[in-house]
Chains A and B, each alone.
Chain A
Amino acid sequence: ELKVEQNPLFLSMQEGKNYTIYCNYSTTSDRLYWYRQDPGKSLESLFVLLSNGAVKQEGRLMASLDTKARLSTLHITAAVHDLSATYFCAVDTEGGNEKLTFGTGTRLTIIP
């Protein structure tokens, strides 16, 4: 059974600081997704990583994928309050955007 683990589960950080969220998964996959969820809201797609070594950046967020280590990271640079949300990674093990298994989520709180 595929397991997707994120750490940390909770993260409070000050504005302006840098931090990294980690996503480990237990089986072979070359597709990994990052989503954001604001409280009481739906999930918003952030990044899609499709191959080993893929790196994508949008604003203060940068995601990377190491398929050999079965690890993805979401790096936050110079955090701002608007980035407060829960971040999920999800892994597709059957190719073609079929069954996504989501991680536990990381609740990020940016403190002024």
Chain B
Amino acid sequence: DAGVIQSPRHEVTEMGQEVTLRCKPISGHNSLFWYRQTMMRGLELLIYFNNNVPIDDSGMPEDRFSAKMPNASFSTLKIQPSEPRDSAVYFCASSLWNTDTQYFGPGTRLTVL
């Protein structure tokens, strides 16, 4: 299996621009998670889906952030408008519901200037 796929791997944008991060989970997995990693705050869960339905979005920092999962093989995390404090590495992970391991993608390194 190819593992969790994320794109782009690197994104540099200017403040105020819209940013869309993409994730393809492992085939057959029915849970998908978006995390953000920064030096200051560590790894934070932003939102997770089960069977394409958002279960908990309490970690989404503010209304500028939104996530969708239109089907079992694709999810997006959108930031609009972006701000410099959004600069971080964003990871997507997937798992089989109620099993033991979340498998992480390679991450997207976002820099907002």
| A/B pair count, beta carbons within 8 Å | 52
Do B104 and A43 touch (CB < 8 A)? yes
Answer yes or no: A100 CB below 8 A from chain B CBs.
yes
The answer to whether A97 has its CB under 8 Å from any CB of chain B is: yes
Are A42 and B106 closer than 8 Å at their CB atoms?
Answer: yes
Q: Are B98 and A45 in contact (CB under 8 A)?
A: no
Q: Give complex CA distance A99, B103 in Å.
A: 14
A74-108 CB contact bits vs B (8 Å, 1 = yes)? Answer: 00000000000000100000011111111111000
Per-residue A-contact encoding for B36-56, CB less than 8 Å = 1, 0 else: 000000111100100000011
Interface of B is mostly: strand
Given contacts A42-B104, A42-B105, contact A97 B99 (CB under 8 A): yes
Chain A residues with CB under 8 A of B56: 98-99
**Category for how many chain B residues contact A:** 20 to 34
The answer to whether B102 touches A99 (Cβ under 8 A) is: no
Q: Judge whether A43 and B97 touch: CB under 8 Å.
A: no
State the Cβ distance, A4 to closest chain B Cβ, in Å: 9
User: For residue B101, which residue of chain A has the nearest CB?
Assistant: A45
> A105–B40 Cα gap in the complex (Å)?
12
Chain B residues with Cβ below 8 Å from A44 are 104
Query: When the two chains form the complex, which single residue of A88, A96, A105 contacts B97, counting CB atoms closer than 8 Å?
Result: A96
Verify B106–A99 contact, CB threshold 8 A: no
Chain B residues with CB under 8 Å of A99's CB are 45, 48, 56
| B contacts, CB < 8 Å to A | 31, 33, 42-45, 48, 55-56, 91, 93, 95, 97-107
Write the residues of chain A forming the contact surface with B, with a CB cutoff of 8 angstroms. Answer: 31, 33, 35, 41-45, 48, 50, 88, 95-105
